[in-house]
């Protein structure tokens, strides 16, 4: 009789321990899925920007004597971004490469738009204005989705590091997720000259 009570108690304790571990594990899974979903949204808006670039380049090419070097830089930066393929959220090193490629494309597009200022006939075309508005809207979406991604990553990383969740995270290989960071030099305001 006593042995069966001890066996029952041992089974009950094992079952309780197992069930109590399900909560943190399931929460880690849910948070990781949130990070994956937010990452997919980031990729969607970056893809939208990449899809706008061929039309922008074609429109700008139509302007006589437009700086070919600037167009080449945009096309090359877009190609570099197009080569970046990940399954799920990239690790920290891949994430840094992704961000650097996207920052390079942003920089090339900024230079293109600055150069366009010298071509009033180009800026006056409806096609260029429409593309510029779409590009500006897409850049705003990118900013919003990057912020949402960082918020989701923060919730995941915080939960993952808390005790006893950190034990489950380590046991089941739930690693840290990287954040988007601001572009180097973004903390300094741009110089405006008149």
Query: Which tens digit of pLDDT belongs to each residue from 87-135?
Result: 889 999 999 999 999 999 999 999 888 888 888 888 788 888 898 899 9
- Domain with 46, as residue range(s), is 25-171
CA torsion through residues 43, 137, 190, 56, sign? positive
* Domain assignment present for 144: yes
* Domain assignment present for 187: no
Domain count, the chain: 1
* Domain assignment present for 1: no
| CATH code of residue 36 | 1.20.1440.20
DSSP conformational letter for 58: H
From CA 13, how far away is CA 24, in angstroms rounded? 18
pLDDT over threshold 90, residue 23:
no
* Domain assignment present for 110: yes
Q: From the CB of residue 166, how many other CB atoms can be counted at a distance below 10 Å?
A: 14
* Domain assignment present for 14: no
From CA 11, how far away is CA 39, in angstroms rounded? 42
CA torsion through residues 117, 122, 125, 127, sign? negative
- pLDDT band, residue 194 (cuts 50/70/90): very low
* Domain assignment present for 108: yes
The pLDDT, as a whole number, for residue 44 is 95
From CA 109, how far away is CA 101, in angstroms rounded? 12
Query: Which tens digit of pLDDT belongs to each residue from 3-14?
Result: 676 676 555 556
- pLDDT band, residue 192 (cuts 50/70/90): very low
């Amino acid at each position: 009789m006593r042995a069966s009570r001890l066996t029952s108690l041992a089974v009950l304790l094992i079952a309780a321990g197992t069930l109590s571990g399900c909560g943190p594990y399931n929460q880690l899974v849910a948070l990781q899925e949130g990070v994956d979903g937010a990452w997919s949204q980031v990729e969607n808006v970056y893809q939208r920007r990449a899809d706008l670039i061929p039309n922008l380049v074609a429109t700008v090419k139509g302007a006589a004597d437009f700086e070919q070097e600037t167009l080449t830089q945009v096309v090359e930066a877009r190609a570099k971004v197009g080569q970046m393929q990940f399954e799920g959220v990239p690790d920290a090193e891949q994430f840094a490469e992704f961000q650097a490629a996207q920052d390079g494309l942003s920089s090339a597009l900024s230079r293109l738009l600055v150069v366009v200022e010298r071509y009033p006939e180009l800026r006056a075309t409806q096609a260029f204005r429409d593309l510029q508005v779409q590009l500006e809207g897409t850049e705003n979406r990118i900013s919003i989705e990057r912020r949402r991604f960082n918020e989701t990553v923060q919730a995941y990383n915080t939960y993952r590091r808390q005790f006893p969740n950190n034990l489950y995270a380590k046991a089941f290989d739930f690693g840290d997720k990287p954040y988007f960071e601001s572009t180097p030099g973004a903390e300094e305001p741009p110089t405006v000259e008149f």
